Amino acid sequence: MTSAKLSILLFCSLLFFGEQSFANNTNPQFNFDDNYEGEEISHESHQAIYDPFEVVNRKVFAFNELLDKKVALPVIRQYRKHIPERVRTSVTNLVNNLSAPFSVVNSLIQGDGQNAMASFSSFLINSTVGVVGLFDVAGDKKIKYNEEDFGQSLGKYGSKAGPYLVIPFLGPSNVRDFSGFAAEKIISPLAFNSFEVGNKRDLISDELAISLSLVNGISIRDSLIEVVDDIRRNSFDPYSTMRSAYLQRRESLILNK
């Protein structure tokens, strides 16, 4: 697919999803009267959990949990044991820097010029002075930005989360966020790369693309180790805790709270 066709497709999907107004940014209201009987939160942007595929999702969740305990956690343990902290920080910086251009584009889609500028500056500084992103020089200089992805852009334009999904190997998501994720992977020069640059599509080798994805996965899982551990230890139903936490987190990222 040529880049022009893909751009049109993305634009149309944005229009399709964006038929509703911008996401509302108000805080929930609570009832503190003595006669309060546990009623729902009154909150315009509060969405009830919609999980029509719960039976399948729970099975995938169980599969992911097993995979996580048997494969991912041992890898992370070795990663933490053998790789010094400063190197791990550099890996996280590198992965974050590679995703910065997406934040630039999505900030522009969302009309957030300030964040677009901040993420662009960060990418420029870290890719050069920060040695291809290994050092977060921009962050040290207090250039901070919110990471924005296509799922958030869709949400900003009023697209509802849709059914909750648990994706094999990847974890919690929903129709909106997974569509955004897939769209980014399709156009990303570091993933499937559907853009043709100078009649060339294979900007990087498949091996490098897979390695980057794995490093990205390890880095993300590493950052979540305490949170997931806490849920596993304390929750009466880890599936619903993870679901609620994921959906709330995504809503707050869309609203940039």
Partner 1 sequence: MSKIISSIFVFLFCISPSFADETKEVRNFVNTLGNKIIAVASDNGLKVNQRRDRLTNIIDEVVDTNWISKFVLGKHYRVATDSQKEKFRKLYHDFMVNTYGPKFNGYNGEKFTITNVINDNNYYTAKCIFYPKNGEPDINIDFRVRKNTTSNQPQFLIFDVVAEGVSLIETQRSEFGTVISKDGLDNFMIDLQERIKKLKNEAVQPQSAKISSVKKK
Over the range 161-196, which residues count as b (16 or more CB within 10 Å of their CB) and which as e? bbbbbbbeeebbbbbbbbbbbebbebbbbbbebbbe
Q: Kindly state the smallest distance separating residue 227's Cβ from partner 1, in Å.
A: 9
Q: How far apart are CA 233 and CA 185, in angstroms?
A: 33
Cα end-to-end distance, the chain, whole Å: 37
Complex with partner 1: residue 188 or 219, whichever CB lies closer: 219
Structure tokens at 161: 């989360």
- Cβ distance to partner 1 smaller for residue 194 or 241: 241
Minimum distance between the CB of residue 233 and partner 1, rounded to whole angstroms? 9
- Min dist CB 32 to partner 1, Å, is 6
Nearer to partner 1, 59 or 80 (CB): 80
**φ, ψ dihedrals at 66, nearest 5°:** -65, -45
Task: Please say which residue, 194 or 244, places its beta carbon nearer to partner 1.
Answer: 244
Compute the least distance from the CB of residue 111 to partner 1, in Å. Answer: 21
Identify which of residues 85 and 207 has a Cβ nearer to partner 1 in the complex. 85
Which residues are within 8 A (CB) of 199 and not within 5 positions of it... i.e. 6 or more apart? none
Report yes or no: 70 and 62 within 8 Å, Cβ to Cβ.
no
Q: Residue 160 Cβ, how far from partner 1 at the closest point, in Å? A: 18
**Site residues, partner 1 (CB under 8 A):** 27, 29-30, 32, 34, 36-38, 40-41, 49, 77, 80-81, 85, 89, 234-237, 239-241, 243-245, 248-249, 251-253, 257
